[in-house]
Amino acid sequence: MKDMPKAYDPKEVEAPLYQMWMDKGYFKPRIDPDKTPFCIIMPPPNVTGELHLGHALTATMEDLLIRWHRMLGDPALWIPGVDHAGIATQNVVEREIAKEGVSRHDLGREKFVERVWQWVGHVRSRISVQHMRLGVSCDWDREVFTMDEGPQLAVRTTFKHLFDDGLIYRGERITNWCPRCTTALSDLEVDHQETAGSLWYVKYPLLDDEGNPTDEFIRVATTRPETIVGDTAVAVNPEDDRWKDLIGRTALLPVIERPIPIVGDEAVETEFGTGAVKVTPGHDPTDFEIGGRHDLPVIVAMDDEAKMNEQAGPYDGVDRFETRKLILADLEKLGLLEKKEDHTSSVGHCSRCDTIVEPIVSNQWFVKTGPLAKPAIEAVKDGRIEITPRRFEDVYMHWMENIRDWCISRQLWWGHRIPVWYCIADGCEEMFASIEDPDQCPNCGSGEIEQDPNVLDTWFSSALWPHSTLGWPEDSEDLRYWHPTSVLETGYDILFFWVARMIMSGLYNTGEVPFRHVYLHGLIRDEKGDKMTKSRGNVVDPLEIVDKFGTDAVRFTMATGGAPGNDFRLFDEKLEGGRNFANKVWNAARYFVQSASEQSVQLPDAATLSSAAGRSDWPLEDRWIVSRTLSVSREVNRLLGDFQANEAGRLLYDFFWSEYADWYVEMAKVRLKEGDTSPLPVLAYTLQTSLRLLHPIMPFVTEAIWQHLRDHIDGLEEALIVAAYPTGDGETDSDAEEQTELVMDVVRAIRNIRAERGVEPGRFIEAYVASKSAGPTLEGTRPLVEALARVRPLHLVPDTTSAPSDGVASAVLSEAQVVIPLAGLIDAEAEREKLSKQLAEDAGEIKRLEGKLANEQFRSKAPAEVIAKEQEKLAAAGSRADGLRARIAELG
């Protein structure tokens, strides 16, 4: 506790501090009816494996908000959770057992699901450890799994309500089918990829009225000849002069030799292909609709692995792509393949396994989304839910307004089983939904009932997350207090998958919005800007960079890496910046601890601190840093409230490093080196305020320092995690800020001359600083200028007449002039050149400003304060120019 090592070592402090926070129960909020709760439900990571950087970003942003609110005194609840991730997890476990040479069918449903549960147990603990390493201050006792009893009940209750309300239905519809996962998918689970392919022109012979062959043909164009076997019509646009006379006639399907009608349908584009399209209602969404309009039969010609079935005649049992080759060859032989063109089209791939999706008609369950979408649209429109960045509201609206029914059944084994039972007793065909497992048919009383074998889309349970984690469907105290939750924070890539559906089901189940704010963060990419994916092999384990740079470095980099909602690239150089900052904070604190030595420093009293008048007799630099601390505190709160963590982080970085460490601490040293301990209270004040401000972003280094500081500063709370967050209440002091800026400018000007003239760094030099207006300020800070610029003696004079003019270097500020005798180092010509260059710049500036101020339009239309500002700038530039001219004249 006594010694602070020279370099901040995250490994030393992180684990014990996290343990301490847990042991003290700081992550667990108390319900306080008099306070405004702040609640975030963590997006549950999939139990498919490890966390990735996206999760680290989520954890960082949410923990930042939670810690901020906790310090503000709000009851702050953060519920962690894990998602069973139906299809994804099933795939992962299938791959696992495949290593043992076993398929899920070998095991059977029950055994397989057992294996998945084993996997879940293993992965969950790994995920928790990763989260803890990131410093998340969530309430671990409330961790929820989507397959837990509570969420199970919520799922069944929701299903039952929707079912009874007629908002869930079952039907033979065309859906996206993954032949590898052998399940239906929702539209969102299909990735469309532009793929180069071919467009084949095929001739279908026409039959006459008696059904006899003719020598006429109708020519169709298709990208998928293998589906010819499922054709049940040819469609043409009824306006198309080339073809419209054929409507009502019959064509003969090649190879299969099935007569099919020619129908007229508006959906057919006359521009594309031949203007005639083969209609395959069983294997194409558009064709399914055309089929519906013309009452065409639906032929499904493939099995669930996309091999052709008995409907495909000669191709029975053959894979779909093999069939394509065979059928093309057959058409060629028959002389019916007219030509082939290159054609790129977008081909759907399974988002889980990348297999080409097959549209297939099958019996699936759907949520009727229209009635649910309406209130969800309203909630965003009327501002009950705000989405940040704002542009995503439009994206949300567009999707919602064009929403299509949601296919929720999956032919999987892992997931929430659909709570629907069928009576298989003779003569009874009852189908019913139930929350509890039923033991008999409510219609006929028979015990011969079977549950639907399918499971629900994973996102069905995720959609209930904000209320199901708080106890719904029970009317729990948690639900009443914490719901609606405050912020839903996640990546913009799951706006539709998750956010939109939570809003719909939240409103449906609870009548309330599930959350007030949606904050969507960007995606983390690698150094080249590529998305991190397993197949690219550029995935980074968060623990890897946490081990290398420390959690705070990772969090700082995540929080400040980019603007809200924008993607950003992550690489080591950025993380080094974060690590260096943590080290900087550590060392600045270390300096304070050393300076305070054995004594425990008393912070300035609150009343004095908060009033500028109360501070008026303090040294200028003390007044300055306190004023700056107040404005920075205010600004940080404002930015965090606007979800601009990036700007808040940058502001704190600049404030702490440039203003506190580089300037204030260096100024404080001037007194401290004389044995004057008067800066200690202000050092203590600024340091501990900075730590409070920084804690939500960098919890470990700040808490570690805090625990050291408690021995050196009086009255600090027992732990920073529960200390009060500074809000910047108190008067700032613009006079002190301006005067300090002047002092810093003078110091910089002298340093600049020294560097340019090659004066040895250690050497003290004589300098003249001339100023009428700033005389008293400079007099009051004489020791600072002397020490920081290494000047001795320092002559403070009203004007430069008393300064030497030969062999001097000079700098001209608007309020002061610096003259440094450096005989021997000065080239008069170079000096004149330098000053003239500056004068030219100032002259340009003056000209610009004068023009602007002379402009009648500007004077009449611009706000007074803008005009005043421009006048000030002009005065400053004028004053600089006068000074420069005088200096140049003195050079002779």
Partner RNA sequence: GGGCGAUUAGCUCAGUUGGUUAGAGCGCAGCGUUGACAUCGCUGAGGUCGUAGGUUCAAAUCCUACAUCGCCCACCA
Give the phi and the psi of residue 751 in degrees, each rounded to 5.
-60, -40
| Rg of the chain in Å (alpha carbons) | 37
Considering only 260, 302, 877, 884, the residue that binds RNA (CB under 7 A) is 877
Residue 533 CB, shortest distance to RNA, in Å, is 11
Secondary structure class of 177 (helix, strand, coil): strand
Q: Give yes or no for residue 278 binding RNA (CB under 7 A).
A: yes
Q: Which of 123, 139, 114 is nearest to 85 (CA)?
A: 123
590 touching RNA, by CB under 7 A? yes
CA count, 13 A, side-chain hemisphere, 692: 27
The 74-103 contact track toward RNA, x by CB under 7 A, reads ------------------------------
Is 594 near RNA (CB under 7 A)? yes
Q: Does 271 bind RNA (CB under 7 A)?
A: yes
Q: Which amino acid is at 892?
A: G
Look at the chain and count its residues.
892
Report helix angle 10-23 to 551-560, nearest 10: 90
Q: Give residue 93's identity as a one-letter amino acid code.
A: V
Site for RNA in 375-404 (CB under 7 A): 391, 394-395, 398-399, 402, 404
Asked if 8 is part of the footprint of RNA (rule: CB under 7 A), the reply reads yes
Q: Does 566 bind RNA (CB under 7 A)?
A: yes
As a whole number of angstroms, the distance between CA 58 and CA 492 comes to 11
- Site membership for RNA, residue 807 (CB under 7 A): no
Shorter beta-carbon distance to RNA: residue 471 or 522: 522
* Residue 346 near RNA by CB under 7 A: yes
Contact flag: residue 817 with RNA (CB under 7 A): no
> Residue 489 CA to chain centroid, in angstroms?
7
CB of 594 to RNA, least distance (A): 6
Asked if 734 is part of the footprint of RNA (rule: CB under 7 A), the reply reads no
- Scanning 274-282, 292-300, 503-511, 723-731 for contacts with RNA by CB under 7 A, the matching segment is 274-282
Closest Cα partner for 469 from 40, 29, 822?
40
Structure tokens at 521: 């963060």
**Please, which of residues 293-322 interact with RNA by CB under 7 A?**
none
Give φ, ψ of 803 to 5 degrees.
-90, 155
- With respect to RNA, which residue has the nearer C-beta, 411 or 587? 587
Which range binds RNA by CB under 7 A, 265-273, 312-320, 442-450, 675-683? 265-273
d(C-alpha 752, C-alpha 812), whole Å = 12
Q: Which stretch binds RNA (CB under 7 A): 296-304, 310-318, 442-450, 848-856?
A: 848-856
Q: Is 587 in the site for RNA (CB under 7 A)?
A: yes
Contact status: 198 vs RNA (CB under 7 A): no
| Structure-token match 């309300």, residue found | 165
H-type alpha helices, 46-196:
53-72, 86-98, 104-107, 109-133, 149-164
With binding defined as CB under 7 A, does residue 828 bind RNA? no
- Return the residues of window 635-674 that contact RNA according to CB under 7 A: 642, 644, 646-647, 650, 653-654, 657, 661-662, 665-666
Choices 29-37, 155-163, 566-574, 881-889; region in contact with RNA by CB under 7 A = 566-574
Nearest 5°: phi and psi at 475?
A: -90, 70
Q: Does residue 728 bind RNA (CB under 7 A)?
A: no
Helix (H) or strand (E) holding 433: strand 431-433
> Rounded CA gap, 361 and 708, in Å?
68
Q: Are 201 and 339 in contact (CB under 8 A)?
A: yes
Q: Check residue 847 for interaction with RNA (CB under 7 A).
A: no
Residue 275 binding RNA, by CB under 7 A: yes
What gap in Å lies between CA 122 and CA 789, rounded to an integer? 61
Least distance from RNA to the Cβ atom of residue 785, Å: 13
Distance (Å, whole) CA 171 – CA 184: 13
Q: Which is nearer to RNA, 63 or 552 (CB)?
A: 552
Region for residue 597 given its phi and psi (left: phi exceeds 0; alpha: psi -120 to 50; beta: otherwise): left
CB of 313 to RNA, least distance (A): 20
Cβ 633 vs Cβ 640: under 8 Å: no
Q: 3-state class of 427 per DSSP?
A: coil
- Residue 44 · residue 462 · CB < 8 Å: yes
Q: Which stretch binds RNA (CB under 7 A): 86-94, 295-303, 817-825, 873-881?
A: 873-881
The DSSP secondary-structure symbol of 716 reads: -
Contact 360, 282 (CB under 8 A): yes
**Angle between helix 620-641 and helix 680-694 axes, rounded to 10 deg:** 10
Binding flags for RNA, 221-260, as an x/- string (CB under 7 A): xxxx------------------------------------
Report in angstroms how near the CB of residue 580 gets to RNA at its nearest. Answer: 3
Which of 264, 371, 438, 562 binds RNA (CB under 7 A)? It is 562
Q: Which residues between 131 and 160 bind RNA (CB under 7 A)?
A: none
CB of 269 to RNA, least distance (A): 3
DSSP state of 355: P
Whose structure tokens read 């901040």?
Answer: 8
User: Closest by alpha carbon to 46, among 1, 81, 6, 10?
Assistant: 81
Among 188, 246, 765, 785, binds RNA (CB under 7 A): 188
* Contact residue for RNA among 142, 170, 548, 569 (CB under 7 A): 569
Q: Smallest gap, in angstroms, from Cβ of residue 496 to RNA?
A: 6
- Residue 13 CB, shortest distance to RNA, in Å, is 13
Amino acid occupying residue 5? P
**Least distance CB 4 / RNA (angstroms):** 8
* Span of 110-118, 586-594, 619-627, 798-806 interacting with RNA by CB under 7 A: 586-594
Please work out the total of residues on this chain that contact RNA, with binding judged by CB under 7 A: 99
Q: Is 6 in the site for RNA (CB under 7 A)?
A: yes
**At closest approach, how far in Å is the CB of 835 from RNA?**
14
> Is 433 or 588 the residue whose CB approaches RNA more closely?
588
Stretch that binds RNA, among 430-438, 770-778, 801-809, 845-853 (CB under 7 A): 845-853
Closest approach of RNA to the CB of residue 793, in Å? 20
Nearer to RNA, 37 or 578 (CB): 578
Q: Is 357 in the site for RNA (CB under 7 A)?
A: no
Containing 397, the helix (H) or strand (E) segment is helix 391-401
Structure tokens belonging to residue 410? 């999956």
Q: Could you tell me which stretch among 29-37, 80-88, 725-733, 853-861 binds RNA (CB under 7 A)?
A: 853-861
743-762: which residues touch RNA (CB under 7 A)? Answer: 748, 751-752, 755-756, 758, 761
Does position 124 interact with RNA (CB under 7 A)? The reply is no
Helices 53-72 & 542-549, crossing angle to 10 degrees?
60
Torsion of CA 353, 357, 360, 366, to 10 degrees: 60
The site string for RNA over 510-539 (x = CB under 7 A, - otherwise) reads ---------------x---x-x--------
Residue 841 binds RNA (CB under 7 A): yes
Residue given tokens 């239905």 in the structure block? 169
Contact with RNA (CB under 7 A) among 845, 850, 882, 890: 845
Q: Which of 345, 434, 610, 836 binds RNA (CB under 7 A)?
A: 345
- The answer to whether 796 and 769 have CB atoms below 8 angstroms apart is yes
Q: Per rule CB under 7 A, is residue 267 in the interface with RNA?
A: yes
Q: Shortest distance, CB of residue 8 to RNA, whole angstroms?
A: 6
Cα 324 from Cα 61, distance rounded (Å): 50
Angle of the 149-164 helix axis to the 501-510 helix axis, nearest 10:
80
Taking the least distance from each CB to RNA, the nearer of 286 and 476 is 286
3-state helix, strand, coil in the chain (%, to 5): 50, 20, 35
